[in-house]
Amino acid sequence: MANDRPEHTSIHIGGNLTGQVNVGNSNTLSWQQVQGGVTAADLAELRAAVDALRTALTGEPEAVSKLDELETALTGDTVDVPAVAKAHGWFRRTLPGLIGAVNRIVFGPVVAKLVAAGGDELAAQFRHSLGG
């Protein structure tokens, strides 16, 4: 019955939370989850960008090794955020002239899809570790 409903709704949310909240009476919720956001073409694009940077690193074996670590961290079953942050930090400190090229990979649209595919917790970890 309509008269059984409270006239005032109060809610308090605190802490470090993410997600949705629904408050009120007679609300209807719906959502849609997008499946399979990362395609084979996306992964090929990512690998091509990494290969182009690898070509620019000829004669820099340590940098190539760090790039390999970055690629592995980005293309595993899920993005390995700590490994991505470590490799990104290495390039930022050691080869700052190449950080723009590294950023185009790490903060590019394909990695954004990979991170999103990993869910909200992974996305929050990525933002916290890399600020992206």
What pLDDT, in 10s, does the model give residues 78-89? 999 999 999 999
Domain locations along the chain: 40-130
Query: What is the pLDDT confidence band of residue 106, given thresholds at 50, 70 and 90?
Result: very high
Q: Which residues contact 74 (CB under 8 A, 6 or more apart)?
A: 46, 80, 84, 105, 106, 111, 114
pLDDT at 35 exceeding the cut of 70: no
Report phi then psi at 25, rounded to 5: -115, 145
What is the reported pLDDT for 29?
Answer: 54
